[in-house]
Chain A
Amino acid sequence: MESSATQRTDGALTAVVGNPPASAPEDRRETGVPGPSEAGPAALELRRISKRFGQVVAVRDVSFSLGHGEVVALLGDNGAGKSTVVKMISGVFAPTSGEIRLDGQAVRFRNSKQARERGIATVYQDLALVPTMNVWRNFFLGSELRHRGRLDVKRMRAETAQALHEIGLRNLSSVDQEVKGLSGGERQALSIGRAVHFQQRVLLLDEPTAALSVKETEKVFDYVRQARQSGIGILLIMHNTVQALSVSDRVVVMRHGEVAAEFAVGGDLEALAKQVNLAISGAA
């Protein structure tokens, strides 16, 4: 607990030091709690969205927002409705009622392709990359760069190397390596780096650290911190409260399909973790 608070500070410091010319999103982060109250509308805003499956109400009247350059963790027990919320945002299925807004504009996706075209990148565990293809081919998959009708291999290799370098993956031996041989953390770097490079609006990460060691998890959080600098809004689905608090600006707790509580991250993280866990279990 104590260590996680320190890690959080370290992480934030590193991010600032690593990026001296403070850009717009950086200023915003230093001025305090980011979010929809800041100038301009939130990257993503859910307004009382609900989802029914027959008789089952999987999600009920869920509202929260995600600002540009903000990291929000969505927490909750199994069955709380987290995945259902993510699937509505990513266009897998439409809400039964309620509204989804992107930069203040109400949107209605008929499928995940439409969501993707509006700048919503979703990274599902294990399904995000093609293991048999190399790093740069994965990075540009579906958005290949072409020069006179043929793949611009040279540029794609260089841009991939640069994007991975920027996101903080510095020790990859080659972008010609098959993804099969990458560690879980390196794969996340690839997915996150891709979302940033293609200037997506919102990045949805479903349990990005589920199968990772502590060390790798810390690295993935560094990628997330780095990605946030670009102004992308990041929604993390997590189940580990302490980990979630170490990387996010806010946490939204879901229980029985509803938002049970919302917390701004700051101050005594150990005490906050206790509060969050109480909200998750329903004792609060």
Chain B
Amino acid sequence: MQQEIVLRISNLHTNFYTNMRCNKVLKGVSLEVERGKTLCIVGESGCGKSVTAASVMRLLPDLARIESGEIVLYDEGREIHIEALDKYGKSMSDLRGSKIAMIFQDPMSALNPVYSIGFQIIEMIKRHTKISASIAKEKAVSLLREMGISSPETRIKDFPHQFSGGMRQRAMIAMAMSCEPKLLIADEPTTALDVTVQAQIFSLMEKLKKEHGTAVMMITHDMGVVAEMADDVVVMYMGYIVERGSVQQVLKNSTHPYTVGLMRSIPMIGKGKKQKLQPIRGCTADPYDTSPGCPFVTRCDFSIQLCHECIPEESTVSGNHKVRCHNPIQKGAVDART
């Protein structure tokens, strides 16, 4: 099957200008999301995952902007350069919701508390399609049913606070899927939910992805989620993408010391009680730090002299598997250490 790319980000730089400083949050992010596949973005908090999503949606706050790079959406043969659109313009808001939809971490705060669930879904349908109110309502009901909400005809009149956490996120997904977007961005969609609900939401997303061929860009800091959901993975650290490739390549054959560290620091099911967890030592560097070397160097066990001098360029490990490291770990070296 021919791979069909839906979104391509290349060399994206985004800066924040809050507190009278310039904070370079994204420093060259490149990634691709394919139709019917899930791309997971992992990394610790503050590394720029949400900012990447906000850049794609053009929903950055006022004091932030895209400095350079490309964000291209491929839609039925057209190439739409998102970074070149006016963020308040009509052509951008036409894309939001209809081509790219987004769901957020906390469905309680992401839904407007004073409007019913139905109102909020129907509002979105009516924004992007020219159908009558009653048909929009039917559509909203059938969407909610598809998301596994029982008796949607009555629940549609309920307000967000009358739903449980899992149901709210289902309603959010229903809303996001209502205009059949090409790309669904999910920013830590289950962090605020408990584990059983988490699994239900993931299988729902899996089903939607299969049935509608939606491309999913899933943001998470949980390697377990990555292992379960991802087709492709990008690992972010301090605004850089340090490693990317298919889930097999990145998880089973990690080459960047940070990825390796991430894998070690989480418990793996099946390895038993005795598994040794190793947190990554040190802590995230100051984002305003302007020293020339690799941002991970102070926490890295494999650093060489070059690491202190310049930031590594992205190099290819094999095929689509790329890493940004002067001294990538060879296959086998990891096993030798453990």
**A complexed with B:** no
Q: Which residues of A pack against B, CB within 8 Å?
A: none
